[in-house]
Structure 1
């Protein structure tokens, strides 16, 4: 780790200078040797870096969404040219160029943070070793070594020996408790950030290997952070925990304000827009109008969530316009009512008492019909003329119940009319 950190030594001076400037401000409030002064200086460094990285974060979001959309096409290219790797690479690059997608954009924020991370690690390691570095002179070095956060020195690590922790005027138990809590919080924030991305901001209609990879990373990244965290100084843990919390909050804001089409977040967002339109009769906010404008532009390519939103506007007698606003429309109302009329109506479930009453009534009606049919049959038998020729007693009658002819009922048959003999 020291070898890797030394590669970023060119940036240790700017990083140490920024920390010193923030320390002057917080030192005036909490004291120069206070752990809060040095800890908040590190937090402020993270906030400053992340603000500068917001444009890269926007590119990361766009690249991630484009990669999700392109997954089915990429899979088709891989299947089509599975025996020609060169042609496969050419078609992939052509697809990226046509859609304006850069696969590396999703890694830009992490890559951009790496120099600052390793530079801060190098600065804190030098403080632990008692060496001056960058803008930190001897006085600031002594102050930083005396700074403690909840009893743990900024330069102490979970794996440090008792002798090293004692030289920093601290207890090994305090150091391990503080570092363990920070490692757990760091891993939990990383897990929650990835989980809300997978459960809320992913197009559920597209099932691709990319989603499975992201799901695996959701469990792998926290484990990696936990293993690496035991070798990080407390100051670096403060840095990494702060950047994880920042990422979580920033992603939560993006999910709520600019969700991925087809995701649960988009459904919740459009429901909020529909509720606002119901209350105010218009689409409020430039971001919301931009979202409605994009939905109108899709036309027949809208997903089910967007169609539901358009139908909801129609029930209110409104229609979405090309500029993202809404206007009254009788046609939209008629279309919404027509779609409701075509829906299958489910019969209402009757109560038990009503079902029993209906059953008794039906059974009574059937008994009455059976009795009427029986009396009618009796009258017909009485009116039918009897056969004048008696049957022989010694011979069994043809068509008896033991050997019924095909197409006739078993059992005794009605006598034929004399004219049909």
Structure 2
């Protein structure tokens, strides 16, 4: 163990130095040997580390969202090359390269924080064993061993024996009560952080195995930390509880201000933005304008939440622009209402039998209209059903050739004779039509 500690001395020395610097500041306020001075030093160490890890946290958010968006494509690759694992891995790496996604980015904050966690664990373990480490000398070691948080020493653990706890100037009952409460709070904060991520900040339109895995981790991670927590010193529990609370608050901010597209958090955010735009008549803030700009650029690829947001803007008389701003126009509401009225006035859909019956009645109606134009036709007697000689048709043809135009009434009469013949044919039964060259 000493060999491992010596290998990680490059990190334990800076961590111990940071703790001592914070302790000197808080010791001047609360006293150098109090648990507040040493406990707040550990909390300040966590805050400093997490501030430095904010860029990695941003990469983690982007990687997590990219992984969620790529899940359908990854599933298709797995099904297509399920018998060829090598080709499957190649296609996966190609997909990651094309989209610029790094699967390890989602684990970067935890991986980057692990060395500091190990260094703090080594520092507190050395304090519990009465050993100096890093920049902590004999005087600081004695002060740290006297520091208690709610009656529990910083270096005490839940599994310590009564003799070891007594050597630190505390009772076993106090140590176990304090450590048990801190373990429960640590596990609960871990569970709530994962739960708000799954319930509010996940794209619900994409159902993938990744979501099922995250749900399983939501219940597994708190149990893992609870099992590990009984072997952590009180100071390490303070460190881990503080980093969980920080993560939870940081994630709540991201969910409220930059939610995942397609999630419930995005719907709530866009509704708040719509209310603000409707009240003030403009998009306030550069970040909000960037969000509206991105949604406008999506075009037809907008999700349901974004389409609902644009419909709300149209009803309020606003139109989003490409630069993220909005303009107010009364014509937008009029066009929306006119389009709705036009949609309501569309004719009803007819059945096939109705279309056939209307098509059969159309030529008859046309002939009746043509026959009703001249007033003289109203007094024209009903046409005869007798067969006309062929010569009459020839005479009419000659008359037309000489420029004598027939009256429209004759056309109506001829139409009436055709209808009469057709009616006579229907009464006598269906007959075979005669050839035009026939003399009979």
SS of the residue corresponding to residue 157 of structure 1 reads coil
TM-superposed CA distance for 1:343, in Å, is: 9.2
Larger radius of gyration: 2
**CA distance in structure 2 between the aligned counterparts of 1:3 and 1:280, rounded to whole angstroms:** 65
CA RMSD, aligned part only?
1.6
TM-score, normalised via structure 1 length = 0.79
**CA distance in structure 1 between the aligned counterparts of 2:24 and 2:139, rounded to whole angstroms:** 13
TM-score, normalised via structure 2 length = 0.76
Structure 1 unaligned runs (5+)? 345-421
Q: Which moved more, 1:320-329 or 1:193-202?
A: 320-329
SS of the residue corresponding to residue 261 of structure 2 reads coil
Residue equivalent to 2:426: none
TM-superposed CA distance for 1:248, in Å, is: 0.2
**CA distance in structure 2 between the aligned counterparts of 1:130 and 1:338, rounded to whole angstroms:** 83
Q: Show CA shifts across 1:57-106 (max 9, x none).
A: 00000000000000000000111111111111111111111111000000
Number of residue pairs the alignment of both structures matches: 344
Residue equivalent to 2:54: 54
Structure 2 unaligned runs (5+)? 345-440
Is this contact kept in 1: 2:9–2:134, CA < 8 A? Answer: no
Is this contact kept in 1: 2:42–2:238, CA < 8 A? Answer: yes
TM-superposed CA distance for 1:3, in Å, is: 7.8
**CA distance in structure 1 between the aligned counterparts of 2:306 and 2:193, rounded to whole angstroms:** 26
Is this contact kept in 1: 2:281–2:328, CA < 8 A? Answer: no
TM-superposed CA distance for 1:278, in Å, is: 1.1
Is this contact kept in 2: 1:147–1:153, CA < 8 A? Answer: yes
Residue equivalent to 1:75: 75
**CA distance in structure 2 between the aligned counterparts of 1:48 and 1:123, rounded to whole angstroms:** 17
Q: Which moved more, 1:103-112 or 1:329-338?
A: 329-338
Q: Show CA shifts across 1:347-376 (max 9, x none).
A: xxxxxxxxxxxxxxxxxxxxxxxxxxxxxx
Is this contact kept in 2: 1:6–1:122, CA < 8 A? Answer: no
Residue equivalent to 1:191: 191
SS of the residue corresponding to residue 169 of structure 1 reads coil
Q: Show CA shifts across 1:17-75 (max 9, x none).
A: 00000000000000000100000000000000000000000000000000000000000
**CA distance in structure 1 between the aligned counterparts of 2:294 and 2:260, rounded to whole angstroms:** 12
**CA distance in structure 2 between the aligned counterparts of 1:113 and 1:102, rounded to whole angstroms:** 19
Residue equivalent to 1:42: 42
TM-superposed CA distance for 1:7, in Å, is: 4.9
**CA distance in structure 1 between the aligned counterparts of 2:192 and 2:270, rounded to whole angstroms:** 24
SS of the residue corresponding to residue 319 of structure 1 reads strand
**CA distance in structure 2 between the aligned counterparts of 1:241 and 1:6, rounded to whole angstroms:** 27
Residue equivalent to 1:236: 236
1:22 aligned onto 2:25: no
Residue equivalent to 2:104: 104
